[in-house]
Amino acid sequence: MTAVDPVALEPGLDAPDLPPRRSRAWAKLRRNPAAIAGGGIVLFFAVVALLAPVLPVPGPAEADWSAVRAAPSLAHPFGTDDLGRDVLARMVWGAQASLLAGVVSVAIALALGVPLGMLAGYRRGWTDAVISRFTEALLAAPFLILAIAFAAFLGPSLTNAMIAIGLSAMPLFVRLARGQTMAVMTEDYVESARAIGVGHLATVGRYVLPNIVPPLLVQATLTIATAIIAEASLSFLGLGQQPPAPSWGSMLNVAKNYLEVAPWMALWPGIAIFLVVLGFNLLGDGLRDALDPRDL
């Protein structure tokens, strides 16, 4: 080497040292008030659902025949339903079924749909043709009809309802993951992975998946809402949560018959579903931003 250094250091690179990525994402999430609010809402309902057995509320199926469709009072802060059951108690116990229905079914949809979609987008050709035609066939049927068909086939229970909703929501994620994968595959960095000899699995894991997570995250939080409502519809048909066990959706379905005489029956489950969906959406948005290294 000669005396001069041909590879001069560029000045202006002395930015403050940043902590590693994971703690950076966490710090970013904590600085985002909307995400904190969303996380708080989700956490609150999760805690309520978990603590249902120890909270000082009556059993969800205990009927008080002297107080049928009673307005909110000290004895029944949220009122009672058409069979004289305490709405607050049913809300607390129903949180379990509703949160599970939302989260588990979306988890099923993600677990099946994302790998299939990435496979189709990565391999293309006949693999893509087979997966895409299958997906389109599922998408051709309305979401709820499909869920009812699966649930009827699997048999009535909350577990089967979650599987049915997950299967029905899966094509959405197949299509989204496929499209996003195809978009990412055109980026030079995927070619750079091939150029240094990265294998297919590692390319998908390190190059494709991290770059398609943000839209999937947003779609997942939105689908949780749909899944909670879908569980309600299945319950109404006797295919979801089995009476007398409560879920918010099934409470809403019954309540719609008494909207004029007992609006509180619909009000509380409605507010709860609204809040949970809002909470998941805010949390999802915050997570998306926090996980994006481009956004400081």
Partner 1 sequence: MSDVVLEAVGLEKRFTRRRLFAADTVVRAVNGVDLAVRRGETYAIVGESGCGKSTMARLLLTLMRPSGGTVLYEGRDTAGMSDRELRALRRDLQVIFQDPFSSLNPQMSVGALIEEPLRVHGIGTAAERRATAAAMLARVGLRPEHADRYPHEFSGGQRQRIGIARALVTGPKVVIGDEPVSALDVSIQAQVINILAALKAEMGLTLVLIAHDLAVIRHMADRVAVMYLGEIVEEAPADDLFARPAHPYTAALMAAIPIPETGARAPAATLEGEPPNPVAPPPGCRFHPRCPHARDNCRTDHPALRELGDRRVACHYAEELTLPGIAAGTQRRAPAVERRFALLDARTQDNDRGERP
Alpha helices in the chain (DSSP H): 21-30, 33-51, 87-123, 125-140, 143-154, 158-185, 188-195, 200-203, 209-236, 248-255, 264-291
Nearer to partner 1, 199 or 243 (CB): 199
Residue at token pair 């008030």: 33
Using CB under 8 A as the binding rule, whether residue 192 contacts partner 1 is answered as yes
We find the least distance from the C-beta atom of residue 263 to partner 1, in angstroms, to be 49
Q: According to CB under 8 A, which one of 142, 199, 238, 263 is a site residue for partner 1?
A: 199
SS3 68: coil
**Beta-carbon-side half-sphere exposure of residue 42 (alpha carbons within 13 Å):** 21
For the stretch 182-186, contacts whose Cβ atoms lie closer than 8 Å and that sit 24 or more positions apart, written own/partner, are: 182/121, 182/124, 184/208, 184/211, 184/212, 185/121, 185/122
> Which segment (55-63, 64-72, 94-102, 206-214) binds partner 1 by CB under 8 A?
206-214
Nearer to partner 1, 15 or 74 (CB): 15
> Which segment (48-56, 117-125, 175-183, 202-210) binds partner 1 by CB under 8 A?
202-210
Residues 14-73 that bind partner 1 (CB under 8 A): 15, 17-18, 20-21
By rule CB under 8 A, what count of residues binds partner 1? 34
Using CB under 8 A as the binding rule, whether residue 260 contacts partner 1 is answered as no
Q: Measuring CA to CA, which residue among 174, 158, 189 is closest to residue 219?
A: 174
Nearer to partner 1, 9 or 54 (CB): 9
We find the least distance from the C-beta atom of residue 288 to partner 1, in angstroms, to be 13
- If one counts every other C-beta atom within 10 angstroms of the C-beta of residue 79, the result is 21
Task: Quote the CA–CA distance of 178 and 166 in Å, as a whole number.
Answer: 18
**Mask 131-170, x = binds partner 1 (CB under 8 A)?**
----------------------------------------
Nearer to partner 1, 103 or 291 (CB): 291
Contacts of 88 (CB under 8 A, 6+ apart): 57, 76, 77, 78, 268
**Mask 216-255, x = binds partner 1 (CB under 8 A)?**
----------------------------------------
> Which segment (61-69, 85-93, 164-172, 186-194) binds partner 1 by CB under 8 A?
186-194
Q: According to CB under 8 A, which one of 123, 133, 206, 256 is a site residue for partner 1?
A: 206
Using CB under 8 A as the binding rule, whether residue 13 contacts partner 1 is answered as yes
Using CB under 8 A as the binding rule, whether residue 211 contacts partner 1 is answered as yes
Length of the chain: 296
Nearer to partner 1, 9 or 74 (CB): 9
Q: According to CB under 8 A, which one of 195, 259, 261, 271 is a site residue for partner 1?
A: 195
Residues paired with residue 80 on neighbouring β-strands, in sequence order = 86
Contacts of 98 (CB under 8 A, 6+ apart): 228, 231, 247, 248, 249, 272, 273, 276
We find the least distance from the C-beta atom of residue 1 to partner 1, in angstroms, to be 7
Contacts of 235 (CB under 8 A, 6+ apart): 161, 241, 247, 249, 250, 253
Q: Residue 140 corresponds to which amino acid?
A: A
Tell me how far apart the 2 most distant CA atoms of the chain are, in Å. Answer: 98
Contact residues toward partner 1 (CB under 8 A) are: 1, 4-11, 13, 15, 17-18, 20-21, 187-189, 191-199, 202, 206-207, 210-211, 293-294
